[in-house]
Amino acid sequence: VYVASGAVGGFDIFQSIALMGQAQGKIHTQKAPRSLEGAPHLEGRDLSKESAELIFDGTAEEAITAFPKNINVAVASALASVGVEEMHTQIESVPGLEANIHEITVENNSVLASLKVTSQPDADNPKSSVITAWSVAALLQNLASPIEFY
């Protein structure tokens, strides 16, 4: 099984930190309200069009059930590091935001890795980022190349 990095990256260092032991992980995602519409967690709820609001705070395991089309980055980052039960996940709805922003931190007593990715939503699927499909192309290129990047 090959897991493409999708809208983020850094899986190599996240995995290394987790292997060292006593690792903790956190992801904070910011998206425009329209890209979050239709999520099971938001059923019957209207998001603010004026102010930012934290709409989810839990684990990556809980987040993927609540936002199955919006938060795959949390699950992928968790699988590469601390696990879905341990990846602290926050989702924030930000009116007027024109990008998807993912901030991921994985750390232990010796190393702290912090990654921030800001990318444009896909025009055809605003729940995802433009870079997501390109990460699959990069993975395929890596598999065919004599030099592989991890």
Q: In this structure, are residues 132 and 108 in contact, taking their beta carbons and an 8 Å threshold?
A: no
Q: In this structure, are residues 9 and 100 in contact, taking their beta carbons and an 8 Å threshold?
A: no
Q: Report helix, strand or coil for 49.
A: coil
Q: Which residues are CB-neighbours of 12 under 8 A, at least 6 positions away?
A: 150
Among 141, 131, 4, 127, smallest CA distance to 77 is for 4
* Catalytic option among 28, 41, 88, 102: 102
Is residue 102 flagged as an active site residue? Answer: yes
Q: What amino acid positions are annotated as catalytic residues?
A: 102
